[in-house]
Copies of this chain bind each other. A is one copy, B any other.
Amino acid sequence: MRIADPLQDSCAGAATRDCRHGLATNGCEDCKVRLFSVCAALEAPELEELDRISQAREVPARTTLFEQSALAGSVFNVTEGVVRLYKSLPDGRRQIVGFALPGDFLGLALQDRYGVTAEAVTAVAVCRFARPAFLAYVDDKPHLLRRLHEFAGHELSLAQEQMLLLGRRTAEEKIAAFLLNMQARYARIGTVSVTVPLPMSRQDIADYLGLTIETVSRTLTRLAREKAVLIVPDGVRLLDLERLKLAGAS
């Protein structure tokens, strides 16, 4: 099966990264570069152990990786594709709390149950760790623990930023912030381009920003009409960054 590659756009040459477990940036045969990985320096014996407890897995779009309130049996590192994380209300209302891109960890909260559901938006490749093995591996490595903790802290910061967005920003500000944020995230994993890939549906974007599909669509077309963006297949080209930053600034 061919894996959809969100990195391919305008970055074909440099996009050949396939770190299997996302935990190292050096010493690992499989790893090229992963700037935002959890641990920047693991030694060879540790890496071998890591390889033993990790398991690469590829799944097609719309696959559920784990479900909210299920027993948290695995920790995942996304290596290819996009995953949506969401919570649902009994009546079907949905809030996407984040999109995981290559390099992101899932289930790191280290609680006994998952707090969200994780679904592949595109075809996805992940590296799976059995939780007990992962915990055992991590437990006597303070530098790794520290790093994981910082990672969690960063996640929390992002969540708080998203609360500000959901609670206090207008539709246009939400869209602008979302586009700029996606561009920044793709840039970090190697896709530097004014064209931001948007592999998720309008419904996903709406459920992430606390809007409806119609409002997302209208706001995007308005931004396009005003020459702030250009809507292209599966993405958006950012034209007037100043205009967007004006709306989306933190």
Of A31-39, A104-112, A182-190, A195-203, the stretch lying at the interface with chain B is A104-112
CB atoms of A160 and B209 under 8 A apart: no
Query: Can you list, as one digit per residue, whether each of A94-122 has a CB less than 8 Å from chain B (1) or not (0)?
Result: 11010000000000111100011000000
Considering the complex of A and B, which 4 residue pairs feature the smallest CB-CB distances, nearest first? A167-B210, A109-B153, A159-B159, A166-B166
Interface residue tally for chain A (C-beta within 8 Å): 42
Complex interface: chain B residues within 8 A of A150 (CB)? 110-111
CB atoms of A164 and B110 under 8 A apart: no
CB atoms of A140 and B142 under 8 A apart: yes
A148-B149, A149-B148, A159-B163 are contacts. A168–B94 as well, Cβ < 8 Å? yes
CB atoms of A153 and B110 under 8 A apart: yes
Cα separation A146 to B146 with both chains bound (whole Å): 9
How many copies of this protein are present in the complex? 2
Cα separation A169 to B87 with both chains bound (whole Å): 12
Is A2 part of the binding interface, using a Cβ–Cβ cutoff of 8 Å? no
Cα separation A164 to B115 with both chains bound (whole Å): 12
- Say which residue of B93, B154, B160, B210 sits within 8 Å of A87 (CB atoms): B160
CB atoms of B95 and A164 under 8 A apart: yes
Complex interface: chain B residues within 8 A of A45 (CB)? none
A34 to chain B, nearest CB (A): 20
Complex interface: chain B residues within 8 A of A140 (CB)? 142
Is A234 part of the binding interface, using a Cβ–Cβ cutoff of 8 Å? no
A147 to chain B, nearest CB (A): 10
CB atoms of A156 and B155 under 8 A apart: yes
Complex interface: chain B residues within 8 A of A163 (CB)? 87, 95, 97, 159, 162-163, 166
Complex interface: chain B residues within 8 A of A249 (CB)? 90
CB atoms of A110 and B149 under 8 A apart: yes
Q: Which residue of B lies closest to A152 (CB)?
A: B152
Is A157 part of the binding interface, using a Cβ–Cβ cutoff of 8 Å? yes
Cα separation A17 to B95 with both chains bound (whole Å): 39
Cα separation A149 to B155 with both chains bound (whole Å): 12
19 additional A-B pairs beyond A89-B168, A89-B250, beta carbons within 8 Å, are A87-B164, A87-B250, A90-B249, A93-B169, A95-B168, A97-B160, A97-B163, A97-B164, A108-B153, A109-B152, A110-B150, A111-B157, A140-B142, A142-B142, A145-B145, A145-B149, A152-B153, A156-B159, A168-B210
